[in-house]
C-alpha cells in the first residue's frame, strides 16, 4: 500500500508534527511524490525541513506514530524483520563464526540497494555541529555498513568519482579512511575557507581560483604530485612557491606521512571534526569494552551522547559497523 | 554425484567439466580434516609451506627455529583411532645441521623441476640450496639483509634463477647454475616483502615492497616496465575486444618517460620544490630509459605489500597489504578491479602466503588467527577456517587433493580437506578378531 500525498505542505506538516522521532522519506524515484513511513524501534532525529530520500524498495504501511515508548507497536517495513531488540557487540579483531548479519542498526531496516541513495541519505542526516559549519561528508566505512555488496559500493563510487559528482579524500584518522563529499558541497566549503583566509591576510590571491578551476576540475584523484600541481596551476598564471604554502595554510592541500612528494586534497576547516571522529570511536569502543560481555542493547546505546565527539552516535555506529569493529546481533525478547 | 559419473560415461558431460565440478565442490566445503593430521615437530612458528609441484606428494615447511621439515602427505606413517586418522610424521627435520641456518627460516621452496633440491631463505641473510637426499647444503648465497621471500619460476626452461626479496631495496637474482648473482633489480624504495614469478612467462617477475608498490620486471631488460597504481581501476573484468567502450579509464595511465632530465633525477634526491629551479644545464646524471619507472611513486596499497599470488591462468594478481586490503589486479591492463574483500585486520609485521584454487574461484587469505576463503570475483567471504591458536602465516592449496595446508605461530600445520565419509563397516568389524561384531557392541563388550 502506498499512500500518496498530493501536497508538499502536508509532508512538511507531517514531519514537523512527528518530526523528531520518526523516520520519513520523500521520494521522487517512482515519479510521483510518495511518503514512505518506516518506523520501528530505531529512531532518528529528523528536524522539520530536512531533505530526505527514500530508497526505492520501501513500501508503506500506516501505523500509529507517537508510541515511541512502545517499540513493539512499530514494525518495520522490510519483510523479514522480526520485532526484536538488538545488541551491539564489540567484534574481536578476527571473528569466529559470523553471526546473523542482518543489519539492524539504527536507521537501517532499509538496506539500500543504491550507493547514491545511501550517500544522499547520509548527507541529509549529517549531524549539526555548533562551533563549525561543515558541509556534510560521508565516511566510506559508513557506506559499507548500509549497502550490502561492498564491491558494488566501490565500483559505484569509482564511477561517481570519475563523473566528478563527488570527491574522495583520504583522511589521516586511520589507515584506510576516506571521506566522500559531493562536489557542490566541497566547492561551498572551499569558498568559505578561501574567504576567511583572504579576510585574514587582507589580499586577494588568484591561486585559489586557479586551484579551483584547473586542479579540482581536472583531477578527480585524492592526491597529486608536486610537478603536476605546478603544471596545472601554471595554466592559470605564474606560480610562486608561496602560492603552494597558501594552499596548504588554507587547508586545501596537505601532506601525509606515506609519501613526501605527494600532496593530498583535504577538506578545509574540519580539523575538529576529524579529532572528534577519532576520539568518538575510541570512546564508543571503550564504552562497549567495559561492559561485562562487551555488548549492549542498541536501543539504550543510541540514546547515549558521546562526550568527546561533536558528531552523533549514529555517525559513529555506522562507521564502526562498516569498518568491522562492531557487529549487531539479533536477540529474541 | 553418481548421476554425473553416469553422464560422463555416456558422454553428456565432458571430462573437463566433470573434473572442475568435482574439484570446486570439494574446494568449497573445506573443514579441519577428520582423517589426516600432520605431526609438526617445529619449535618455532611455521613461516612457509609448499607442496612440490611435480608430484604433489611432499610438503616442505620452514619454521622460525631454523628447522625444516618434509612430510609425505600421501602416505601416512601410522594410523590412529582404528585406522581413521592418518598421522604423517616428518621425514626430514633439520635443526642442528652444521651448515644450517642460524635464525628463523622465512621461506622454503622446492626446486620446480623435481624434488631433489630445495631452497631456503632465512633472517640470517643467507639463501641456501639443499640436496634433499643427502640433506647437505649445496650452495650458499649471502644477501645484504634479512631474506623475506624467495621464488623460482616453474615455467623456466632457460634459466635457474632464484629471485630473492630482502629488506634491502634491491631484488637480487641468484643463479643456481653458476653460484653467482645474475643481476639486481632496483626501483623499490623500501624493503621488498613479496616476490612471485609470473605464471605466463618465464621472464616476468612481480615484486611487492614495504613502500606499498607492486612492480613488474622483465628480467631481460633493465628496470621495471610496470608499476601498479591503486587509483587506476577498471570496473570488473575487461570488456572483450569487440566491445571497445571504455569502462576503464585513467587520467595518466602510461607514464610517459620524462623528457626533462633535470626533473627526472629529482626523485633520487629528496629535494622537492627545487626541481624547476635546476635548469637542464646542471650536471645531473642521465637516467637509463629502463630506470625511468623508478620515479614512478604509485602505490598499490597504503601500507606494505605482504603477499602476492598470481592466478594460474596468468591473468590476475592478488595482493594483500598491511592496510588490511586484498586487491585483485588485471595484469594485462595493470588496473585494480575494485573487488572488495571483507577483511577486518591482517597481521602487519610478517609476510603472509596466499593461496588460490586452480580455477581462480576461491582465494585463501590468512587473517590473524583464521584463514578466510573469499570468492575471487564477488569478494564475499565463503568460509572462515578457524583452527589455529595463534596467527596464521602461510597457507598452501594442493590442487591434486583439494586440500589446504596452513601453518601458524602456534607451530602447528593443519590440514583442511573436504569431509571424508567414515564408512560404517569400520565400526562393525572388530579389528583384532576379524569377526563382524554385533551392532551394539563396544570396546567393553564381552
Residues of B in contact with A262 (CB under 8 A): 297
**Contact between B353 and B394 (Cβ < 8 Å):** yes
Nearest to A74 by CA among A31, A122, A41: A41
Instruction: Specify the DSSP class assigned to residue B419.
Output: P
Starting at the edge strand that comes first in sequence, how are the strands of the sheet with A326-330 ordered? A295-297, A86-90, A326-330
CATH match of A205-265 with 2.60.120.10: no
Task: Give domain limits for chain A.
Answer: 1-63, 205-265, 271-330
Closest CA to B104 of B44, B155, B54: B44
What residues does each domain of chain B span?
Answer: 33-230+296-420
CA distance B434 to chain A (A): 43
Q: Is the pLDDT of residue A175 over 80?
A: no
* Distance from the B82 Cα atom to the nearest Cα atom in chain A, whole angstroms: 31
- The distance of A65 to chain B (nearest Cα, Å) reads 38
Q: What residues form DSSP beta bridges with B150?
A: B164
Q: Check if B324 contacts A (Cβ < 8 Å).
A: yes
Among A217-221, A288-292, B290-294, where is mean pLDDT lowest? B290-294
**Is the pLDDT score of A249 beyond 60?**
yes
Nearest CA in chain A to B231: A221
CB proximity under 8 Å: A 243-302 to B:
244, 258-262
pLDDT in tens, B9-39: 998 889 999 988 888 888 888 988 888 888 8
Contacts of B303 in chain A (CB under 8 A): 175
* Dist. CA A55–CA A268, nearest whole Å: 31
- Rounded to 10 degrees, what is the CA torsion of B19, B20, B22, B26? 140
| Residue closest to B170 by CA, chosen among B199, B203, B205 | B205
Grid coordinates 604554502 are at which residue? A245
Question: A68 to chain B, minimum CA–CA distance in Å?
Answer: 35
Write out pLDDT tens, residues B67-88. 888 888 888 777 776 556 666 7
B 295-314 → A contacts, CB under 8 A = 297, 299, 302-303
Longest CA–CA span in chain B (Å) reads: 101
Please compute the mean of the pLDDT values over residues B96-116 and round it to a whole number: 88
pLDDT digits 0-9 by tens, B279-288: 333 345 566 6
- Judged by CB atoms closer than 8 Å, whether chains meet at A151 and B368 is answered as no
Contact with chain A for residue B370, Cβ under 8 A: yes
Per-residue pLDDT of B291-305, as tens digits, reads 666 667 788 888 899
| Degrees to nearest 5, angle at CA B254 with B248 and B255 | 140
Give the chain B residue whose CA is nearest to the CA of A154. Answer: B338
Nearest-neighbour CA in chain A from B347: distance (Å): 10
Question: What ipTM is given for this predicted complex?
Answer: 0.73
- Asked if B299's CB is within 8 angstroms of A151's CB, the reply is no
> By the 8 A CB rule, do A55 and A110 touch?
yes
CA distances from A297 to A42, A288, A300, A303 (A): 12, 10, 6, 10
Which residues lie closer than 8 Å to A47 by C-beta, 6 or more apart?
Answer: A19, A20
Across residues A5-27, what is the average pLDDT? 42
pLDDT in tens, A305-315: 888 888 888 88
- Rg value, chain A, Cα: 22
Q: What is the pLDDT of residues B199-222, one digit of tens each?
A: 999 999 999 999 889 999 999 888
**CB < 8 Å from B in window 205-224 of A:** 218-223
Rounded Cα–Cα distance for residues A58 and B403 (Å): 45
Most confidently predicted of A50-64, A83-97, A238-252: A238-252
Chain B contacts of A322, Cβ < 8 Å?
A: none
Contacts of A241 (CB under 8 A, 6+ apart): B273
Residue A232 has pLDDT above 70, yes or no: yes
Give the contacts of B355 (CB within 8 A, at least 6 positions apart): B309, B363, B364, B395, B396, B397, B404
Chain A hits for B273, Cβ within 8 Å: 226, 241, 244
Each residue of A151-163: pLDDT tens digit? 888 888 888 888 8
The answer to whether residue B28 neighbours chain A at the CB level (below 8 Å) is no
- What is the fold of B33-230+296-420? Methylamine Dehydrogenase; Chain H (2.130.10)
d(CA B364, CA B385): 9
Amino acid at each position: 500500500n502506498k499512500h500518496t500525498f498530493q501536497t508538499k505542505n502536508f509532508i512538511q506538516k507531517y514531519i514537523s508534527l512527528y518530526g523528531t522521532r520518526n523516520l520519513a522519506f520523500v521520494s521522487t524515484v517512482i515519479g510521483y511524490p510518495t511518503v514512505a513511513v518506516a518506523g520501528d524501534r530505531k529512531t532518528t532525529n529528523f528536524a522539520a525541513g530536512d531533505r530526505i530520500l527514500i530508497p526505492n524498495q520501501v513500501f508503506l504501511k500506516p501505523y500509529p506514530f507517537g508510541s515511541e515508548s512502545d517499540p513493539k507497536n512499530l514494525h518495520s517495513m522490510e519483510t523479514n524483520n522480526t520485532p526484536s531488540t538488538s545488541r551491539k557487540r564489540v567484534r574481536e579483531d578476527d571473528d569466529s563464526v559470523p553471526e546473523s548479519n542482518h543489519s539492524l542498526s539504527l536507521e537501517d531496516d532499509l538496506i539500500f540497494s543504491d550507493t547514491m541513495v545511501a550517500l544522499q541519505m547520509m548527507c541529509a542526516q549529517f549531524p549539526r555541529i555548533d562551533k563549525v559549519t561543515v558541509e556534510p561528508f560521508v565516511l566510506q566505512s559508513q557506506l559499507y555498513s548500509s549497502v550490502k555488496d561492498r564491491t558494488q559500493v566501490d565500483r559505484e563510487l569509482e564511477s561517481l568519482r570519475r563523473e566528478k559528482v563527488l570527491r574522495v579524500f583520504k583522511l589521516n584518522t586511520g589507515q584506510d579512511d576516506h571521506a566522500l563529499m559531493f562536489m557542490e558541497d566541497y566547492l561551498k566549503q572551499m569558498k568559505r575557507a578561501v574567504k576567511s583566509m583572504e579576510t585574514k591576510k587582507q589580499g586577494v590571491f588568484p591561486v585559489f581560483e586557479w586551484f579551483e578551476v584547473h586542479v579540482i576540475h581536472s583531477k578527480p584523484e585524492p592526491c597529486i604530485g608536486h610537478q603536476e600541481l605546478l603544471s596545472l596551476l601554471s595554466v592559470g598564471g605564474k606560480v610562486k612557491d608561496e602560492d603552494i604554502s597558501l594552499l596548504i595554510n588554507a587547508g586545501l592541500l596537505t601532506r601525509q606521512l606515506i609519501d613526501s612528494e605527494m600532496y593530498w586534497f583535504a577538506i578545509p576547516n574540519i580539523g575538529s571534526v576529524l579529532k572528534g571522529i577519532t576520539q568518538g570511536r575510541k570512546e564508543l569502543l571503550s564504552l562497549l569494552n567495559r561492559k561485562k560481555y562487551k555488548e549492549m542493547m542498541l536501543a539504550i546505546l543510541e540514546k547515549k551522547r558521546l562526550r568527546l565527539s561533536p558528531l552523533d552516535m549514529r555517525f559513529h555506529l555506522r562507521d564502526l559497523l562498516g569498518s568491522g569493529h562492531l557487529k549487531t546481533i539479533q536477540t529474541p525478547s | 554425484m553418481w548421476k554425473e559419473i553416469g553422464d560422463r560415461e555416456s558422454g553428456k558431460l565432458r571430462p573437463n567439466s566433470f573434473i572442475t565440478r568435482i574439484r570446486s565442490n570439494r574446494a568449497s566445503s573445506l573443514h579441519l580434516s577428520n582423517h589426516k593430521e600432520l605431526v609438526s615437530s617445529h619449535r618455532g612458528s611455521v613461516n612457509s609451506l609448499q607442496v612440490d609441484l611435480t608430484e604433489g606428494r611432499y610438503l616442505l615447511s620452514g619454521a622460525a627455529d631454523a628447522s625444516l621439515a618434509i612430510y609425505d602427505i600421501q602416505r601416512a606413517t601410522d594410523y590412529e583411532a582404528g585406522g581413521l586418522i592418518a598421522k604423517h610424521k616428518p621425514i626430514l627435520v633439520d635443526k642442528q645441521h652444521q651448515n644450517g641456518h642460524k635464525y628463523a627460516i622465512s621461506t622454503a621452496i622446492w626446486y620446480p623441476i623435481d624434488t631433489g633440491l630445495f631452497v631456503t631463505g632465512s633472517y640470517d641473510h643467507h639463501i641456501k640450496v639443499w640436496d634433499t637426499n643427502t640433506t647437505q647444503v649445496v650452495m650458499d648465497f649471502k644477501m645484504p639483509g634479512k631474506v623475506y621471500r624467495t621464488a623460482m619460476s616453474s615455467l623456466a626452461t632457460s634459466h635457474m634463477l632464484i629471485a630473492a626479496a630482502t629488506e634491502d631495496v634491491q631484488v637480487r637474482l641468484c643463479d643456481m647454475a653458476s653460484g653467482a648473482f645474475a643481476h639486481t633489480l632496483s626501483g623499490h624504495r623500501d624493503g621488498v616483502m613479496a616476490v612471485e614469478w609470473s605464471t605466463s612467462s618465464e621472464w616476468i617477475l612481480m615484486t611487492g615492497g614495504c613502500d606499498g608498490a607492486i612492480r613488474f620486471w622483465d628480467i631481460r631488460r633493465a628496470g621495471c616496465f610496470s608499476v601498479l597504481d591503486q587509483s587506476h581501476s577498471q570496473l570488473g573484468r575487461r570488456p572483450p575486444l569487440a566491445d571497445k567502450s571504455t569502462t576503464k579509464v585513467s587520467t595518466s595511465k602510461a607514464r610517459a618517460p620524462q623528457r626533462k632530465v633535470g626533473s627526472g633525477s629529482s626523485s633520487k634526491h629528496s629535494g622537492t620544490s627545487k626541481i624547476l629551479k635546476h635548469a637542464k644545464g646542471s650536471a645531473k646524471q642521465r637516467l637509463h630509459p629502463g630506470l625511468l619507472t623508478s620515479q614512478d611513486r604509485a602505490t598499490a596499497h597504503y601500507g606494505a605489500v605482504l603477499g602476492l599470488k598470481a592466478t594460474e591462468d596468468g591473468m590476475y594478481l592478488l595482493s594483500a597489504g598491511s592496510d588490511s586490503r586484498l586487491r585483485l589486479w588485471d595484469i594485462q591492463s595493470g588496473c585494480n578491479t575494485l573487488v572488495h574483500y571483507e577483511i577486518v585486520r591482517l597481521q602487519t609485521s610478517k609476510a603472509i602466503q596466499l593461496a588460490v584454487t586452480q580455477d581462480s574461484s576461491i582465494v585463501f587469505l590468512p587473517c590473524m588467527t583464521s584463514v578466510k576463503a573469499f570468492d575471487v570475483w564477488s569478494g564475499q567471504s565463503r568460509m572462515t577456517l578457524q583452527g589455529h591458536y595463534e596467527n596464521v602465516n602461510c597457507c598452501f592449496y594442493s590442487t591434486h587433493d583439494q586440500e589446504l595446508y596452513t601453518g601458524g605461530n602456534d607451530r602447528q600445520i593443519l590440514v583442511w580437506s573436504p569431509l571424508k565419509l567414515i564408512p560404517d563397516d569400520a565400526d562393525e568389524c572388530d579389528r583384532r578378531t576379524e569377526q563382524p561384531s554385533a551392532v551394539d557392541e563396544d570396546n567393553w563388550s564381552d
